[in-house]
Chains A and B, each alone.
Chain A
């Protein structure tokens, strides 16, 4: 290398650094040769929710990689920024951290849409911030209905426009439909309800309770648990004394692990059911078989994983990430497809690609995804509402924490009771 060349190299390095700095400072990414827009991903990647969150993240990453492989979206390459909402003080998702993450996304002008969050508690903290910036997010798993309920529009979308879209349906269906299923199919006549005091847990168990009462199931009680508490033997002994046909748990893994273990110790004969919070590989290995055997769980999306058309996708996912996908890995993949489709349509219509146009395009999305057709109502809720029911059935051939094989699909929970 000659002296001249070395100097040129240094100059160009300095020049490139200046360009990067300029771009970072907000002088516009348009100066770069390749146009990039960023999709934010917001999930509780550390803590008790890490297992399910990682499977969701991988679904989204896979969709972004595949879109980039096909040349990106609307002439843009897709960048990714992943932020974690798990903190050590919460030990699971932390709404305060989720709010901070939302602010970070809003502050980055390249971020034009978000995929996430996983948990409704995060969503409730993020939506006021995202609404102010008109930055839309698509959640692949958060199911609390309040966030998209027009009644709470002032709280969760003060700006007026829907910014919280979902590729799953809500607990307004997940809880009640499971109540229908339990009465009609599992022949449950009485139930005791416990929840984990979180936004999701309280919401889904209240929705379940209302429907159970409506269709004549005897609700013998409803207690709230402290998720950091170790001992639930007191409450479970109390439940055993009342002898209900079933126990319904609304909540996520942190309390769910202990509820499942101690129910198995004290009251194993009862029918045990929960929502999508009980679908988690970490929970399976922490509780272990046979204690977790026989739990009924729901997912707020159609179960397409076992379809023949999905086998290639499942194989790609398993090969790339060395773990099996969950149903919400599919809905996360679908969420990215919606974002990509929206950017494509904005670009094809000759409009500039920014948060406002992408949000508007998402609102009118109507496309075929892995789970089936996805379109949203004016609140951001998915139009196609399906609740799938699973029973945890030990598959000795698979690993204990294999969410694809240890949850056996047994049908759809009906929106209205059969009788």
Chain B
């Protein structure tokens, strides 16, 4: 494996990580765009999504890496898991919004944000107490298909699946926001909540849709995480979540294309930073970027495209 192959392989690793961060970052950015709330519960909605998709896959009779499926059964099982986990996490997100965040919507200050941290801890501890702290084996029905890109760098089926899924979901979201009636209502609410309400837009249902979509994407990220790493553990929310949050800030919080680009950049920094320096420095680099962006360009990369707040 030559050095250029290693670098190419790290780029493949980085884009895969980045696609996962991007899926997660979208949830942060959408909620912030609509109600200017940083939703820390999002971290652990993702983590619950990983566990939920593990249960679904286990219900279909998969265990560990022993059962390998191909063709239609594979697509069917993965689609079933995807639909179930997106619905489940979407509903979980709506439930969080409806029960604890809506009563705090018009409370000024950081009360709502602190509440999301509390919700995050509840999800974290519920999974810890019910599932235990040890990592659990996540079923993986995908055959070990490997393409040689160059002499040494390889592309695996799981990476292609991850990229495709992330791409399709992000494009879908993009068109939903740009083209549909509800998407336009979301843009209007993001621009000016009061004016939108006066124009007859039901702000409450817009907010609920936003939570549903963001959390459903987190659930999809949870499934993808499990298929990619083949384990589920209650701690996965924090490291991935904090980096996804950094990705959202880097891209410009509130901006959907920004979250996608930010995710990919953070993923590449993580893999190439680990290659060129040492893995223990990657968090230092990533969170330094968070600080630098917040100090020098608080609007992020896509800051100018951000919708101006009244």
Contacts and interface: CB of A to CB of B under 8 A. Distances in A.
B281 to A, nearest CB: 10
A23 interface: no
A237 interface: yes
Given A228-B238, A228-B239, A234-B271, A241 B133 contact: no
A291 interface: yes
A282 B137 CA distance: 10
Nearest to A46: B133
B218 interface: no
A226 to B, nearest CB: 7
A237 B229 CA distance: 15
A130 interface: no
A241 B134 contact: no
A64 B163 CA distance: 57
Contacts of A46: 132-133
Interface string B273-286: 01100111011000
A224 B238 CA distance: 19
Contacts of B156: 265
A50 B134 contact: yes
Contacts of A86: 133
Given A228-B239, A241-B3, A234 B13 contact: yes
A238 B137 contact: no
B55 to A, nearest CB: 16
Nearest to A194: B279
Contacts of B282: 234
Most chain A CB inside 10 Å of its own CB: which residue of B66, B235, B238, B275: B235
Contact of A235 (B124, B240, B279): B279
Contacts of A47: 132-134
B274 A234 contact: yes
A289 B137 CA distance: 11
A47 to B, nearest CB: 4
A261 interface: yes
A199 B13 CA distance: 30
A88 B17 CA distance: 26
A418 to B, nearest CB: 32
Interface in B117-141: 124-125, 128, 132-137
Nearest to B132: A50
A238 B270 CA distance: 13
A307 interface: no
B270 A231 contact: yes
Contacts of B293: none
A285 B137 contact: yes
Interface string A242-283: 010000000001100110011001000000000000000010
Secondary structure type dominating chain B contacts = helix
Contact of A238 (B5, B66, B229, B275): B275
A395 to B, nearest CB: 15
A158 B178 CA distance: 69
Interface string B155-174: 01000000000000000000
Interface residues on A, range: 35 or more
Given A50-B132, A253-B134, A261 B239 contact: no
Contact of A91 (B13, B65, B235, B275): B235
A233 interface: yes
A223 B152 CA distance: 23
B51 interface: no
B135 A254 contact: yes
A240 B1 contact: yes
A237 B10 contact: yes
B265 to A, nearest CB: 15
Nearest to B124: A88
Contacts of A400: 64
A237 B270 CA distance: 13
B231 interface: yes
Interface in A273-306: 282, 285-291
Contacts of B13: 233-234, 237
B133 A226 contact: no
A141 interface: no
A275 B300 CA distance: 46
Contacts of A399: none
Interface of B: 1, 3, 5-6, 9-10, 13-14, 16-17, 64-66, 124-125, 128, 132-137, 152, 156, 225, 229-231, 233-236, 238-240, 270-271, 274-275, 278-280, 282-283
6 contacts: A47-B134, A234-B10, A243-B1, A261-B229, A265-B156, A288-B65
The 8 A-B pairs at the shortest CB distance, nearest first, are namely: A241-B6, A234-B274, A47-B133, A288-B64, A282-B134, A257-B135, A234-B271, A286-B135
Given A47-B132, A50-B132, A225-B280, 11 more contacts: A88-B128, A91-B235, A224-B279, A230-B225, A230-B231, A234-B275, A238-B6, A241-B9, A241-B275, A289-B64, A291-B65
